[in-house]
């Protein structure tokens, strides 16, 4: 369990080639984050807007255990989302 705020880089070549891996590793990153902390998900832009394929999956999987905040679309084109693990919520 990661007991600090941290970032997961989901923009490398393996993620560019495999959108399902972005979803899988986003879920794993959230599960690894201790309640009360957040993980920034830096997501490759090659698969389009994560609001359409990633965020709905995370919200369905975790429900009220998380809060997702869009941070920015970086100059390289990727997207950054901050996912808070809420206190008192078990995954």
Task: CATH number of the domain at 65, please.
Answer: 3.30.110
The count of other CB atoms within 10 Å of the CB of residue 83 is 21
Residues of the chain under the 50 pLDDT cut: none
Q: How many domains does the chain have?
A: 1
> 41 lies in a domain?
yes
Token look-up 């923009």 returns 11
- Single pTM value for the model: 0.92
Which domain does 67 fall in, by range?
Answer: 6-85
pLDDT value at residue 76: 74
Q: Could you read off the pLDDT of 35-52 as tens digits, one per residue?
A: 999 999 999 999 999 999
pLDDT value at residue 91: 58
> 31 lies in a domain?
yes
> 61 lies in a domain?
yes
> 1 lies in a domain?
no
Sequence-distant contacts of 64-70: CB under 8 A, at least 24 apart: 64/89, 65/89, 65/90, 65/91, 66/30
């Amino acid at each position: 369990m990661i007991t600090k705020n941290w970032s997961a880089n989901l923009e490398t070549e393996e993620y560019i080639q495999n959108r399902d891996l972005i979803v899988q590793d986003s879920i794993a990153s959230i599960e690894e984050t201790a309640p009360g902390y957040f993980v920034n998900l830096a997501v490759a832009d090659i698969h389009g807007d994560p609001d359409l394929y990633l965020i709905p999956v995370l919200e369905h999987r975790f429900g009220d255990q998380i809060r997702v905040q869009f941070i920015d679309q970086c100059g390289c084109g990727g997207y950054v989302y901050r996912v808070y693990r809420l206190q008192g919520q078990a995954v």
